């Protein structure tokens, strides 16, 4: 008994220490934030790139490989797959194993009393041993729990596919942002070079105008106008430099590098205008868009999730049938049978929950129709985006 009390005290102390260690104050969160800030800054500083001239294809490859949002989408997909496995394991029946061990200081005994005057009174007797070990293995299978776990597994599988399509959409958006930032860097880089060349060419002219104005060979108004134009050109060069630095920071961030204002890209795509004569017909592009766009798959998957939710609600309208099977064993020497099997069946039906489930089923049925209309509206919006983008390309 003393050992049991000591073990209980030790377990209680460990539990209290674990609970106290799990509590955090405002200062603790500030310390964690400071530690993470230093760690994240060092990680970002260490992710530098070589000073090579990058092409558009290379920028897209690096962005898809290093972008933190893409990595996050991959981890979220792995989480959804693990949750799918967890839901599938929920279809297993409930298995409980109980083992009771008791040890007494003395043997429980009892006596009997005679009811009539004749006969003898029995002496003291006992029917249990001092040390008893009782083992019970209980298996319970519920039809309702199995059905709900099955539908939950199907829903989680849909969520995993939904996360996959969202990852694809995030990758498409990343490629679009990289292409846009790439051409911003290329255009600002070329504009900066052209403006610098023009300023160098005009600098000698500006000095000549200044000398002519000092010798009174040109009017002061003409000298002021030429000086103002030269200053405006220098301001424009400054604007190009700021635009170039901002575009470099954006492109480096999308590629997963430290956001410093320096990167060199290939400007050759700006040497010739793009050609659009290879594009298919507008109707074919609309069909391809509504077939390949990930957000339209997302609408279809969300509709199927609601269908499964409707089936779960219908399943809750049926009685809850549970099947029990257990095996027991006891070392009590006074028992005729020390081990035995037991089977049981129980059915329960909550009639008061039936109206609520019917209302929920109707709501999910309407939600399925709403998802159908939402998918159709998104398809129309995608076709409109295709036509607008097609017109903007030719207008540009």
Q: What is the pLDDT of residue 211?
A: 67
Q: What is the pLDDT of residue 329?
A: 92
C-alpha 223 chain-centroid distance? 64
Residue 4 has pLDDT above 60, yes or no: no
pLDDT digit string, tens, across residues 350-360: 888 888 889 99
pLDDT digit string, tens, across residues 291-350: 888 888 888 888 899 999 999 999 989 888 889 899 999 988 888 888 999 999 988 888
Q: What's the alpha-carbon Rg for the chain, to the nearest Å?
A: 39
- Exposure b/e, 324-362, CB count within 10 A at least 16 = b: eebebebeeeeeeeeeeeeeeeeeeeeeeeeeebeebbe
Interatomic CA distance for residues 383 and 287, integer angstroms: 8
> 315: how many CB neighbours lie within 10 A of its CB?
16
Pick the more confident residue, 112 or 334.
Answer: 334
CA distances (Å), origin 217, targets 73, 227, 310, 363: 70, 16, 92, 89
Label the pairing between strands 264-265 and 53-54. Answer: parallel
Q: What is the pLDDT of residue 121?
A: 56
**Cβ contacts of 318 within 8 Å, gap of 6 or more:** 144
Contact 349, 320 (CB under 8 A): yes
Pick the more confident residue, 234 or 76.
Answer: 76
Q: Name the pLDDT band for 192 (thresholds 50, 70, 90).
A: confident
Q: Tell me the domain boundaries of the chain.
A: 273-320+350-396
Hey, is 277 helix, strand or coil?
A: coil
CA distances (Å), origin 391, targets 197, 278, 386: 36, 15, 9
Q: Name the pLDDT band for 170 (thresholds 50, 70, 90).
A: confident
Question: What is the 3-state secondary structure of 8-33?
Answer: HHHHHHHHHHHHHHHCCCHHHHHHHH
pLDDT digit string, tens, across residues 233-290: 777 777 777 888 888 888 888 887 877 777 888 888 888 777 777 788 888 888 888 8
Pick the more confident residue, 92 or 219.
Answer: 92
CA distances (Å), origin 137, targets 91, 133, 327, 329, 388: 19, 13, 5, 9, 68
Is residue 137 within a helix (H) or strand (E), and if so which, with residue range?
Answer: strand 131-142
Report pTM.
Answer: 0.68
Interatomic CA distance for residues 206 and 200, integer angstroms: 10
Residue 125 has pLDDT above 80, yes or no: no
Interatomic CA distance for residues 219 and 149, integer angstroms: 91
Q: Name the pLDDT band for 206 (thresholds 50, 70, 90).
A: low
113-122, 217-226, 377-386: segment of lowest average pLDDT: 113-122
Q: What is the pLDDT of residue 70?
A: 75
Interatomic CA distance for residues 134 and 107, integer angstroms: 17
Q: What is the pLDDT of residue 94?
A: 86
**Cβ contacts of 137 within 8 Å, gap of 6 or more:** 95, 96, 97, 98, 326, 327, 328
pLDDT digit string, tens, across residues 7-25: 666 666 666 655 555 566 7
Contact 199, 234 (CB under 8 A): yes
Beta-bridge partner residues of 321:
347
Q: Name the pLDDT band for 362 (thresholds 50, 70, 90).
A: very high
Q: What percent of the chain has pLDDT over 90?
A: 5
Residue 326 DSSP symbol: E
Nearest to 179 by CA among 64, 66, 72, 290: 64
Based on the number of CB atoms within 10 Å of its own CB, is 3 exposed (0-12), middle (13-18) or buried (19 or more)? exposed
Interatomic CA distance for residues 53 and 267, integer angstroms: 10
């Amino acid at each position: 008994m003393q050992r049991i009390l000591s073990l209980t005290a030790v377990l209680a102390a460990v539990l209290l220490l674990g609970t106290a260690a799990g509590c955090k104050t405002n200062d603790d969160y500030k310390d964690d934030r400071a530690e993470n800030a230093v760690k994240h800054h060092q990680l970002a500083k260490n992710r530098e790139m070589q000073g090579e001239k990058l092409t558009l294809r290379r920028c897209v490859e690096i962005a898809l490989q290093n972008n933190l949002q893409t990595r996050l989408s991959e981890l979220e997909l792995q989480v959804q797959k693990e949750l799918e496995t967890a839901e599938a394991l929920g279809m297993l029946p409930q298995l409980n194993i109980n083992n009771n061990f008791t040890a007494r200081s003395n043997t429980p005994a009892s006596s009997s009393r005679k009811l009539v005057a004749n006969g003898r009174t029995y002496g003291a007797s006992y029917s249990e041993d001092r040390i008893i070990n009782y083992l019970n293995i209980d298996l319970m299978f519920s039809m309702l729990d199995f059905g709900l776990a099955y539908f939950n597994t199907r829903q989680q599988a849909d969520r995993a596919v939904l996360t996959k399509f969202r990852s694809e959409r995030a990758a498409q958006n990343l490629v679009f942002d990289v292409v846009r930032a790439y051409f911003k860097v290329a255009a600002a880089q070329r504009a900066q070079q052209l403006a610098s060349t023009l300023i160098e060419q005009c600098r000698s002219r500006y000095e000549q105008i200044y000398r002519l104005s000092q010798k009174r060979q040109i009017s002061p108004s003409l000298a002021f106008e030429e000086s103002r134009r030269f200053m405006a050109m220098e301001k424009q060069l400054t604007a190009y430099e700021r635009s170039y630095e901002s575009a470099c920071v954006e492109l480096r961030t999308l590629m997963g590098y430290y956001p410093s204002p320096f990167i060199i890209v290939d400007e050759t795509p700006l040497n010739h205008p793009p050609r659009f004569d290879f594009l298919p017909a507008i109707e074919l592009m609309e069909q391809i868009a509504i077939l390949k766009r990930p957000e339209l798959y997302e609408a279809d998957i969300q509709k199927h999730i609601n269908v499964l939710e409707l089936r779960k609600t219908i399943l809750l309208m049926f009685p809850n049938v549970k099947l029990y099977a257990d095996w027991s064993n006891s070392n009590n020497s006074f028992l005729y049978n020390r081990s035995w099997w037991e089977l049981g069946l129980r059915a329960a039906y909550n009639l008061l929950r039936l109206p609520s489930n019917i209302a929920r089923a109707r709501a999910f049925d309407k939600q399925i129709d709403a998802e159908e209309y939402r998918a159709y509206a998104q398809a129309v919006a995608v076709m409109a985006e295709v036509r607008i983008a097609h017109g903007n390309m030719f207008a540009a």
